[in-house]
Structure 1
Amino acid sequence: MIIKLKMKRFEILPHDVQEMLFLQRFHIYVFKANFMDTRAIFKASGFLILTVIGIPSNLFICCAFLHTRLTEAKLTPADIILCHLAVANLTSTITRSFSQMLTAFGYRNIYDDFSCKLVVFFFRVSRSLSIKLTCLLSTYQAVLVSPATSILDSLKHIIPKYLQHIIVSFYAFCFATSVHLLLYSSSSLINNTIPPYTFNYEYCYVTYPDYTFFISIGLSLFFRDFAFIVMMAVMSCYILVLLYRHGKKVKNLRSTDHGNSRSRAETKASFAVVTLVILYTVFFGVDNAIWLYSLTIVRVAPLISDIRGFFSILYTSVCPVVVIATNPKVKAKLKLPRLRRLPHSVDTSSPTM
Structure 2
Amino acid sequence: MVAFTRSIPQTLAAFGYLNLFNDVGCKLTIFCFRAFRGLSISLTCMLCVYQAVAISPATSRLAPLKISIPKHLQYIIIFLYVLYYSTSVTTALNAVSSLFNNTIPPYTFNLEYCFVVGKEYFVYISMSFGVMCRDLLFILSMIVMSGYILRLLYHHGKKMKNILSSDNSQKGRRAEAKASRAVVTLVILYIVFFGIDNIIWVYSLTISRVALLISDIRDFFATLYTSVCPIVVITTNPKVQRKLKLVKMKKEAQPTESSTHTM
The SS at the match of 1:203 is: coil
Q: Structure 1: how far apart are the matches of 2:256 and 2:88?
A: 56
Task: Quote the residue 1:117 is aligned against.
Answer: 27
**What letter corresponds to residue 229 of structure 2 in structure 1?**
C
Q: After superposition, what is the alpha-carbon deviation per residue over 1:273-312, rounded to whole angstroms, capped at 9, x for unaligned?
A: 4422221121110000111111111011222212111111
> Residue 94 of structure 2 aligns with which residue?
184
**Mapped pair 1:223 → 2:151:** no
Cα displacement (A) at 1:112 = 0.8
C-alpha deviation, 1:322, in angstroms:
1.1
Matches for 1:238-253 after TM superposition, within 5 Å: 238-253=148-163
* Equivalent of residue 206 in structure 1, options 112, 116, 128: 116
Distance 2:195 2:251 in 1: 45
How far apart in 1 are the matches of 2:51 and 2:189? 17
User: Structure 1: which 5+ runs fail to align?
Assistant: 1-90
Task: Give the residue type in structure 1 aligned to 2:46.
Answer: L
Which among 34, 41, 58 is matched to residue 148 of structure 1?
Answer: 58
Alignment of structure 1 residues 151-162 onto 2, 5 Å? 151-162=61-72
Question: 1:351 and 1:128, CA in 2 relative to 1: closer, same or farther beyond 3 A?
Answer: closer
Secondary structure of 2:162's counterpart equals coil
Question: What displacement does 1:321 show?
Answer: 2.5
1:152 aligned partner, one-letter code? L
The correspondence of residues 334-353 of structure 1 with structure 2, limited to 5 A, is 334-350=244-260
| 1:300 equivalent in alignment to 2:205 | no
Partner of 1:168: 78
Corresponding residue number in structure 2 for 1:286? 196
Structure 1 range deviating more: 322-331 or 266-275: 266-275
Give 1 or 2 for the bigger CA radius of gyration.
1
Identity %: 58
SS in 2 for 1:152: coil
Q: What is the root-mean-square deviation in Å for CA atoms of aligned residues?
A: 2.6
Contact 1:196 1:299 in 2 (8 A): yes
With over 3 angstroms needed to count, the CA separation of the structure-2 counterparts of 1:168 and 1:269, relative to structure 1, is farther
TM-score scaled by length of structure 1: 0.68
Displacement of 1:229 after TM fit?
Answer: 1.1
Kindly tell me the number of residue pairs found equivalent between the two proteins: 263
Corresponding letter in the other structure for 2:98? S
Kindly state the Cα deviation for residue 100 of structure 1 after the two structures are TM-superposed: 0.8
Query: Structure 1 residues 105, 154: CA separation in 2 closer, same or farther (over 3 Å shift)?
Result: same
Q: Deviations over 1:218-271 (max 9, x none)?
A: 11111111111111111111112221222222223217x999989976764564
Q: Deviations over 1:36-85 (max 9, x none)?
A: xxxxxxxxxxxxxxxxxxxxxxxxxxxxxxxxxxxxxxxxxxxxxxxxxx
Change (3 A) 1:148 1:306: same
C-alpha distance in structure 1 between counterparts of 2:72 and 2:100, whole Å? 48
Write the deviation string for residues 158-204 of structure 1: whole angstroms up to 9, x where unpaired: 22222111111100110111110232011111111211111111111
Q: Secondary structure at the match of 1:282?
A: helix
Kept after mapping to 1: 8 A contact 2:21/2:113: yes
Q: Is the contact between residue 161 and residue 169 of structure 2 (CA under 8 Å) also seen in structure 1?
A: no
One of 40, 45, 52 as aligned partner of 1:130: 40
Residue aligning to 2:220: 310
Once the two structures are TM-superposed, the CA of residue 211 in structure 1 deviates from its matched residue by 0.5
Shift of the 165–270 alpha-carbon distance from structure 1 to 2, 3 Å rule, reads farther
The one-letter amino acid of 2:47's match is L
* Cα distance, 1:270–1:201 mapped onto 2, change above 3 Å: same
Partner-residue secondary structure (3-state), 2:233: helix
SS in structure 2 of the partner of residue 251 of structure 1: helix
Can you give the 5+ residue segments of structure 2 that lack an aligned partner in the other structure?
none
